[in-house]
Amino acid sequence: MQQNAKGLGIRWAYLVLGVVAMLFAGIIYAWSILKAPFQAEFGWSAPDLALNFTLTMCFFCTGGFVGGLLSKRIGVKLPLIAGGLLAGLGLLLASRLEGSSVGMLYLSYGVMAGLGIGVAYNILMTVLGAWFPDKKGLCSGILLMGFGASALVLGNLAGAFIDNPAIGWRTTFLLLGAGLAAVMVVAGLVLRMPNPDTQFPQPKQGKGGDSQQSEQRDYTTGEMLRRPSFWLAFVCLLLLAAVGNSVISFAKDLALSVQATAALATTLVGVLSVCNGLGRIITGALFDAIGRRATMLCTNVLTIVAAGVTLLSVSIGSLPLCVVGLCLTGLSYGSCPTVSAAFIGAFYGAKYYPTNFAIMNFNLMGASLMATVSSNLLASSGGYTLPFMLLLALSVVALVLNLLIRRP
């Protein structure tokens, strides 16, 4: 009993450490702030920089898959430390870039930082999820809140450092890399999986009735991939995440296009991040309370409204509507990873969760590709109307798929 009591007590301390680690890992979502010095100093084009964000998300997904495989074979400590060190090294190399080739940005930030953060992300979600089998949605939401809030906390801090002549962007990237690596090393040394005999509280049956009862059977990754329920959810969440991914990639420029000041535009990137974080924790609590189906439908409807409001704001040039649209987009985008994490655990069991969760996260790769499509559509059309018409259409298609999802 003492062992169980100790285990249940320490899991909250682990969760706090996990949130801090996720806060540093989420720096990749501050790209709309971090890209500014490359555009200003080297003259790299908006599509070139948008491609870097796409590459970052692609290797983030790949890193998640690698992290899932490694955690099954060698445990969680070494992959978490290695992921942090790789990501830190990527940011360090980015701080030494010259303007001769944008390819080095892709290698350092896109490949190395994206891959390392993906490994660490999967490990953190796996370890902390194992400590909260009775609170899947809430745990995922709290962790992902830290991940999403990074653009506000570290992103705005980095923006201030970049604008400070005494510090500049090179030192800023160096500090971010060192901080990220240090936090992941500490997390790797401290966090551990719970003992097999640790007894956790039984999850409470919520009103939704379908989220708390985890699948009694553990589905292997191959079995999961043969279930229509997985592919419906995968494509649905891909389309929903595409809306948020696209807006994150050009959030600051979007605000400037409706006459926001530079300072307000930077602040709105932070507001988007706050709403992103709030969406994650609110959705986690809803998943536990009202069930998977109701939560996913709420997420989908919110995304449709977010895309519609933002489309209206750019059509009539309304800054207040743009602020509302960014807030709603943040809330809806924050819902997607929380639903993904809780959905995989509830539908396909805990035994193969690391690799199953990593496979589901590949929807972010497709979402990031859609973000590139949106950026290219923006560049070719010269305005935000067509990109948001596309994003609105994607969210409506997602609703149709959402309604078809059934338990495996």
Q: Dump pLDDT digits (tens) for 317-330.
A: 899 999 999 999 99
State mean pLDDT over 327-355: 86
Q: How many CB atoms lie within 10 A of CB 323?
A: 21
Lowest-pLDDT choice from 212-216, 232-236, 378-382, 398-402: 212-216
CA atoms within 13 A on the CB side of 127: 34
Q: What is the pLDDT of residue 208?
A: 45
% of the chain residues with pLDDT over 90: 41
Please check the confidence at residue 99 and state whether its pLDDT lies above 80.
Answer: no
Q: Specify the higher pLDDT residue, 112 or 370.
A: 112
> For residue range 129-148, what is the model confidence (pLDDT) as tens digits?
888 887 777 887 788 788 87
For residue 194, the SS3 value is: coil
Task: For the chain, give the mean pLDDT.
Answer: 86
Alpha helices by DSSP H, 201-318: 221-225, 228-257, 262-290, 292-316
CA–CA gap between residue 49 and residue 98 (Å, rounded): 15
CA–CA gap between residue 260 and residue 29 (Å, rounded): 21
CA–CA gap between residue 293 and residue 284 (Å, rounded): 13
Tokens 């009539």 belong to residue: 316
Lowest-pLDDT choice from 219-228, 254-263, 390-399: 254-263
Q: What is the pLDDT of residue 203?
A: 63
State mean pLDDT over 52-70: 88
CB of 136 closer than 8 Å to CB of 345:
yes
Map out the domains of the chain with their CATH numbers. Answer: 2-195+206-403 (1.20.1250.20)
Lowest-pLDDT choice from 27-41, 156-170, 198-212: 198-212
Q: What is the CA radius of gyration of the chain?
A: 20
Per-residue pLDDT band for 6 (boundaries 50, 70, 90) equals low
CA atoms within 13 A on the CB side of 359: 21
Q: How many CB atoms lie within 10 A of CB 207?
A: 9
Per-residue pLDDT band for 212 (boundaries 50, 70, 90) equals very low
In this structure, what are the phi and psi dihedrals at residue 94, rounded to the nearest 5 degrees? -60, -30
Alpha helices by DSSP H, 318-404: 319-348, 353-360, 363-381, 385-403
Q: Specify the higher pLDDT residue, 284 or 324.
A: 324
Is residue 193 left, alpha or beta, with left meaning phi > 0 and alpha meaning psi from -120 to 50? beta
State mean pLDDT over 17-42: 88
Two structure tokens written together for 229: 């329920």
CB of 7 closer than 8 Å to CB of 21:
no
Q: Quote the pTM value.
A: 0.75
CA–CA gap between residue 242 and residue 180 (Å, rounded): 26
Per DSSP, 29 falls in state G
Q: What is the pLDDT of residue 88?
A: 96
